[in-house]
Amino acid sequence: MVLENIRVVLVGTSHPGNIGGAARAMKNMGLSQLVLVDPQEFPSDEAVARASGATDILQGAQVVGALEEALVGCRLVLGTSARDRHIPWPMLEPRECGVTACEQARQGAQVALVFGREYAGLTNEELQRCHYHVHIPSDPAFSSLNLAAAVQVLAYEVRMAWLASEGQPIKQVSVAEEGDEPVMADELESFYRHLEQALVEIGFLDPLRPRHLMSRLRRLYGRSSVSRLEMNILRGILTETIKAARGEHHKREKADV
């Protein structure tokens, strides 16, 4: 089922009514997978009231403590934002977001649509966990939609793309070879931690003055759709780099002699 592969992730929602409104918007459009990251109040009667009948979605909602947990197993993560952020990120229009999410889901990939807090949106760190950012082109003078309304707009775009793709043959990106599949969001996170460690060890990254280095590297790797095989090579290089920085290679060479 294509639409079941697309999850809606609400981060740090403060008003339970918005959770109910989002569940209703989802159910209207055929989406069913709701993940709540650290909601302020849930379960809640207000959420049930606003869901007006979409209670099955609330009951089935998965509640987790951190965004990383909500993204386990996701190949594509789309983060929504009401405004521009510091570092420009690859952007998708809502329509392209619907098409891309649907295409990936049709190929069996798990996709996440991530929405932020009512008052503060998503943090830069959370946005940098996303492959793309999606902005609903609202009036710049009043750009922020109600959370459930934003869910409604993107759920509608997903539905339109899904209806258009029904009955169409599935486009295979390439002939899959073992290990050729793109890595999941959580594997990318472990890679970034490893990369950061290596960059600190070789003295390229000063943890006291990190600037935007990791953000820029996240953007670079995020748009490369790294495969599992390639990820293993990169991780291998990092492991050897750290060993070299610690002088462990030197010792091994000597031992070999």
**Which two structure tokens, joined as six digits, stand for 166?**
């029904």
Q: How many residues does the chain have?
A: 257
CB of 242 to ligand SAH, least distance (A): 37
DSSP reduced 3-state for 137 = coil
| Closer Cβ to ligand SAH, 135 or 243, answer by number | 135
| Closer Cβ to ligand SAH, 34 or 199, answer by number | 34
CB of 190 to ligand SAH, least distance (A): 26
216 Cβ contact list (under 8 Å, min separation 6): 87
CB of 24 to ligand SAH, least distance (A): 16
173 Cβ contact list (under 8 Å, min separation 6): 107
| Closer Cβ to ligand SAH, 124 or 232, answer by number | 124
**Which two structure tokens, joined as six digits, stand for 12?**
């740090």
| Closer Cβ to ligand SAH, 22 or 199, answer by number | 22
| Closer Cβ to ligand SAH, 136 or 231, answer by number | 136
Cβ atoms of 79 and 132 within 8 Å: the answer is yes
Residues that bind ligand SAH (CB under 6 A): 80-83, 115-116, 118-122, 134-136, 138, 143-145, 147, 150
Instruction: Measure the CA–CA gap between 231 and 178, rounded to whole angstroms.
Output: 13
DSSP reduced 3-state for 130 = coil
DSSP reduced 3-state for 228 = helix
- Residues 32, 70, 81, 89, CA torsion sign: negative
Q: At 136, which helix (H) or strand (E)?
A: none
Instruction: Measure the CA–CA gap between 253 and 49, rounded to whole angstroms.
Output: 69
CB of 47 to ligand SAH, least distance (A): 16
| Closer Cβ to ligand SAH, 142 or 255, answer by number | 142
Instruction: Measure the CA–CA gap between 35 and 37, rounded to whole angstroms.
Output: 7
CB of 95 to ligand SAH, least distance (A): 13
DSSP reduced 3-state for 35 = strand
CB of 257 to ligand SAH, least distance (A): 59
| Closer Cβ to ligand SAH, 17 or 182, answer by number | 17
CB of 146 to ligand SAH, least distance (A): 7
